[in-house]
Amino acid sequence: NPDIPVEAESIAATFRVIIGGIAFALGYITFYCRNLPMNHAMTLLCALGVGFIIIALTIISVKPRGFDKNIAFPPVIMFAVLTSIAFYTYNVSSKIDEQVLVVLSHIKADKNDEFDKILYNEVMVAGMEYRDEDPIKQRLNDKAFNSFEILNPSGMNQDSTWTYIFVADPYVEGALYNIGPSLRQKYGEEGAKEVFGRWSECFTSDGQDVYFSERSE
């Protein structure tokens, strides 16, 4: 374009190359992280957006004389559109026809604090650190862990018990949802028995209710 200085065209070309690289990286990241919970996905989206703004401002701030800032508008729009499409497509809590696992854990009136400490300081730590010898199973476990959510009770039930809700959305077939192997790997056989014993003592006679549901349109 004869109306645009050569220096501006050069900056714009560099800008578009960088945007292309960001768009490619965005596609890879969103595909790799497509099973993240929505709040984590939105955190990632914000981080990418901040990074993009910093890069864009850096390039524009060193523009040569005569640089037309309107040159930057098309790649900015492209980035915004690609970002929206990528996260709308991949980062959903559950896809159609995938199963959702819901577990209701009924805890004794005087065991809420103890159960909370065991859950977050021992059981979840062991689950996070667990490594399967089979890399395929480990990938399934990682996917399951990233899609797992715990809902703490906001108050005591009318019968003076507490209810913790565990949600696997989606439920990953073949992944490990049993706490036994992870406890044994981290604490050893005897240590695992001790932790599991204290864990079991926290439950009421109702124990746990397990539900599988299927998300549909």
Average pLDDT over residues 162-166: 96
Confidence of residue 65 (pLDDT cuts 50, 70, 90): very low
* Residue that wins the pLDDT comparison between 83 and 126: 126
Nearest to 69 by CA among 57, 77, 60: 60
Range of the domain at 127: 99-214
Q: Does pLDDT of 10 surpass 90? A: no
CA distances to 29, 36, 104, 141, 180 from 211, rounded to whole Å, are 32, 22, 8, 20, 20
Instruction: Please give the model's pTM, rounded to 2 decimal places.
Output: 0.59
Confidence of residue 213 (pLDDT cuts 50, 70, 90): confident
Evaluate whether residue 182 is within a structural domain.
yes
Average pLDDT over residues 105-130: 95
Amino acid 1: pLDDT: 47
Q: Which of 64, 90, 116 is the last residue of a domain?
A: 90
Average pLDDT over residues 103-117: 96
Quick: pLDDT tens for 169-195. 888 889 999 999 999 999 999 999 999
Q: Which of 90, 118, 135 is the last residue of a domain?
A: 90
Sheet architecture: strand order including 99-107: 148-151, 162-168, 99-107, 203-214
Amino acid 66: pLDDT: 46
In this structure, the answer to whether residues 113 and 193 fall within a common structural domain is yes
Evaluate whether residue 185 is within a structural domain.
yes
Q: Does pLDDT of 85 surpass 80? A: no
Evaluate whether residue 1 is within a structural domain.
no
Amino acid 147: pLDDT: 85
Average pLDDT over residues 202-211: 94
In this structure, the answer to whether residues 63 and 84 fall within a common structural domain is yes
Q: Cis (ω within 30 of 0) for the bond into 170?
A: yes
Quick: pLDDT tens for 19-50. 667 667 766 666 666 555 555 666 666 776 67
Nearest to 150 by CA among 162, 172, 165: 165
pLDDT > 90 in the chain, percent: 44
Q: Which of 60, 90, 120 is the last residue of a domain?
A: 90
In this structure, the answer to whether residues 200 and 173 fall within a common structural domain is yes
CATH, residue 159: 3.30.70.100
Q: Report the DSSP beta bridge partners of residue 165.
A: 104, 151
Quick: pLDDT tens for 43-59. 666 776 677 667 666 65
Amino acid 169: pLDDT: 85
Amino acid 71: pLDDT: 54
Could you tell me how many helices (H) and strands (E) the chain has, helices first?
7, 4
Amino acid 70: pLDDT: 56
